[in-house]
């Protein structure tokens, strides 16, 4: 898989997101109503902090802000499923 493929970017964003969910579990508790806002804020932070080469890459690959939101949400679902399995 190309280093600059959409799937690679997705995997990188999801790895970063899961790292955040793991590091700050209180901010990403399924029981908290603000968790969805925190996830969207995380995606916005990733989007806004891109370097020029990442902006160019995303434009070339057709990656939009909505992709970042979707990917962080998907990562959250995986994170919650993993945490549920760890406690069962």
Mean pLDDT rounded to a whole number for the chain = 93
Least confident of 31-35, 71-75, 80-84: 80-84
Domain ranges of the chain: 6-87
Count of helix runs (H) and strand runs (E) in the chain: 4, 0
Res. 28: pLDDT tops 60: yes
Per the model's pLDDT, the better-predicted residue between 25 and 84 turns out to be 25
Q: Give the pTM.
A: 0.90
- At 53 the pLDDT is 96
pLDDT-derived band at 83, boundaries 50, 70, 90 = confident
Burial environment of residue 21 by CB neighbours within 10 A (0 to 12, 13 to 18, 19 or more): buried
| Mean pLDDT, residues 37-42 taken together | 97
């Amino acid at each position: 898989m190309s280093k600059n493929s959409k799937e690679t970017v997705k995997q990188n964003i999801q790895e970063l997101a899961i790292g955040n969910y793991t590091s700050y579990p209180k901010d990403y508790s399924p029981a908290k109503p603000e968790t969805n806002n925190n996830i969207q804020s995380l995606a916005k932070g990733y989007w806004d902090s891109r370097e020029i080469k990442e902006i160019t890459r995303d434009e070339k690959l057709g990656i939009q802000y909505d992709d970042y939101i979707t990917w962080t949400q998907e990562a959250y679902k995986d994170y919650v499923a993993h945490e549920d399995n760890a406690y069962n």
